[in-house]
Amino acid sequence: MVHVRRGDFLKNAELAFGLTIANASYFHSAFWYFTERYISVNFVAATEDRNWAVTNLPHKNTSKEKINFTDGETAAFDLAVLSKCDGVIKSTASFGWWAKKTTLYDTEWPRNGSQFYYSFNRGNCFPSDWVPLQ
């Protein structure tokens, strides 16, 4: 499952507080992580910003790598799909915390030096068996 959260995280107040948006290079690294480890990978993307995801996520759609989108279903539907996936590429939102599978996370979140960064406890939010990506 690829969870691409943008929407409200793009607001000035959220950004000023220290929330960040996972960029395209993060998602490319995350796709590479899975395609290097498995013979065939079917990515399922859930996002409220499909245009950004279609433009920026890798989408080769080969016999080894495919990407599909949940296409505007409800958050409950997306979470149900996420729960059935073998791994999660987590953006900057909470869905990845509920995954209990191989989870990748963006080390750029929260933004270094921000108010949120100094009040954030990485040990409480990113389990040691999750994979950090930059």
Using the structure block, give the residue that is written with the tokens 């969870």. Answer: 3
H or E stretch at 64: none
pLDDT recorded at residue 49: 85
Question: pLDDT tens for residues 117-134?
Answer: 888 887 777 778 778 877
| Contact between 66 and 39 (Cβ < 8 Å) | no
For the chain, give the percent of residues with pLDDT over 90. 15
Using the structure block, give the residue that is written with the tokens 């290097």. Answer: 36
pLDDT recorded at residue 18: 74
Question: pLDDT tens for residues 9-49?
Answer: 667 676 677 777 788 998 999 999 999 999 999 999 888 88
Question: pLDDT tens for residues 69-126?
Answer: 988 678 888 878 887 888 888 777 666 666 556 677 778 877 888 888 888 887 777 7
| Contact between 77 and 70 (Cβ < 8 Å) | yes
Using the structure block, give the residue that is written with the tokens 């992580």. Answer: 33
pLDDT recorded at residue 94: 66
pTM of the model as a whole: 0.71
